[in-house]
Amino acid sequence: MDIWSWISELPNSDEWSESTSSLTFQLASSTPSSTKSNTTQMIQLRAERAGSNPEPLVVTFSVCLVGFLSPNSEQTIWVSDTCPLSSDKPFLSLIVQLLQEIISRAPTAHDSTCPRSQLQKLKPEPLSWLLDSHSTESLSSFFSLIFLARLFWLCVFDAPSEAGSLYFHALLAPNLGAFSCNHAPILRTFFVAVGVDVELFLMRTFGYMLAKWLILRELGIGLQSLTPLPSHNLGLSYAMESHGFWVLKGYAPAKAMKCRGSSGRTNKLYPVIEAKESVLRYALSHQQLEAVIQLEYTVGFYDGFIQVKARVDNLRFHVAQLGFNKKEEEEEDNYLNERYFPSRIRVWVGPEIGASYVAGLSLGQSTDNVEREMEMQKILKGSFGKLKVPKAKVMTKMATRTRMKNWRWEQDVEGNLAIFDAVLCDNKTGIEVATWKPSSDGGGGGSGIDGQLGNSFRGRYSGVSRPFTKKGGLVFSGEECGSIGWRLNKEMEGSVLKWRIGGQVWLSYWPNDVKSSYFETRCVEWCEEVDLPLIPGKY
pLDDT in tens, 264-303: 654 444 445 566 788 888 899 999 999 999 999 999 999 9
Q: By CB neighbour count within 10 A (0-12 exposed, 13-18 middle, 19+ buried), where does 458 fall? A: middle
CA distance 256 to 379: 62
392 forms beta bridges with 382
Give the pLDDT of residue 271: 46
CA distances (Å), origin 229, targets 87, 131, 153: 42, 32, 23
The neighbouring-strand residues paired with 374 are 400
CA dist 26 and 43 (Å) reads 7
Of 137, 158, 140, 128, residue with least CA distance to 63? 158
Omega before 185 within 30 of 0, i.e. cis: no
Q: What whole-number distance in Å separates Cα of residue 76 and Cα of residue 79?
A: 8
Q: What is the pLDDT of residue 113?
A: 66
Closest CA to 216 of 156, 259, 276: 156
The SS3 call for residue 377 is: coil
For residue 84, what are the contacts with CB-CB under 8 A and spacing of at least 6?
Answer: 56, 57, 58, 90
| H-helix or E-strand spanning residue 279 | helix 275-285
Q: Which helix (H) or strand (E) holds 147?
A: helix 136-152
- Please tell me the predicted confidence (pLDDT) of residue 17: 63
Backbone angles phi, psi at 459, to 5 degrees: 65, 35
Identify the burial level of 152 via C-beta atoms within 10 angstroms of its C-beta, where 0-12 means exposed, 13-18 middle and 19 or more buried: buried
Domain parsing of the chain, residue ranges? 372-401
Quote the pTM value: 0.86
Residues of the chain with pLDDT under 70: 1, 13-20, 32-38, 51-56, 109-120, 181-184, 221-228, 230-231, 264-275, 324-333, 369-404, 438-456, 539
* Single-letter residue type at 75: Q
Q: Report in angstroms the alpha-carbon separations of 156 from 103, 218, 315.
A: 16, 18, 36
- The DSSP bridge partners found for residue 191 are none
| Cβ atoms 235, 179 nearer than 8 A | yes
| Cα separation values, 212 from 34, 165, 245, 285, 288, Å | 21, 11, 35, 8, 12
Neighbours of 442 (CB within 10 A): 17
pLDDT of residue 69: 84
192-243 residue pLDDT tens:
888 898 999 999 999 999 999 998 888 776 555 556 676 677 889 999 998 8
C-alpha dihedral sign at 252, 256, 262, 263? positive
For residues 44 and 24, is the Cβ–Cβ distance under 8 A? yes
